[in-house]
């Protein structure tokens, strides 16, 4: 998983075959988001503010599950 420069998010990864986005937050919890288009993942990685992008384009838009708890 690529580490990112963010105070809210530690890592972001993507499984293209399954269209699953994995996000690890600063607190250590990791979540899996389902049916996320690859373009959303790529834009997320390129965004200046990972937290703002997440809240605007991912949070409350995709089904998700806790992948690992801190």
pLDDT per residue over 31-43, tens digit each? 999 999 999 999 9
Could you give the CA distance from residue 34 to residue 48 in angstroms, rounded to a whole number? 23
> pTM here?
0.90
Asked whether the predicted pLDDT for residue 65 surpasses 70, the reply is yes
Token pair 């699953």: residue: 20
Mean of pLDDT over the chain = 92
Instruction: Output the six-digit token pair for 55.
Output: 């809240």
Separation in Å, CA 3 to CA 9, 24, 45, 60, 68? 9, 9, 10, 23, 16
């Amino acid at each position: 998983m690529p580490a990112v420069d963010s105070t809210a998010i530690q890592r972001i990864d993507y499984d293209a075959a399954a269209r699953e986005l994995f996000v690890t937050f600063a607190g250590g919890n990791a979540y899996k988001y389902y049916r996320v288009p690859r373009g959303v993942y790529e834009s997320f990685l390129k965004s200046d503010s990972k937290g703002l992008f997440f809240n605007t384009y991912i949070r409350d838009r995709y089904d998700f599950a806790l992948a690992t708890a801190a």
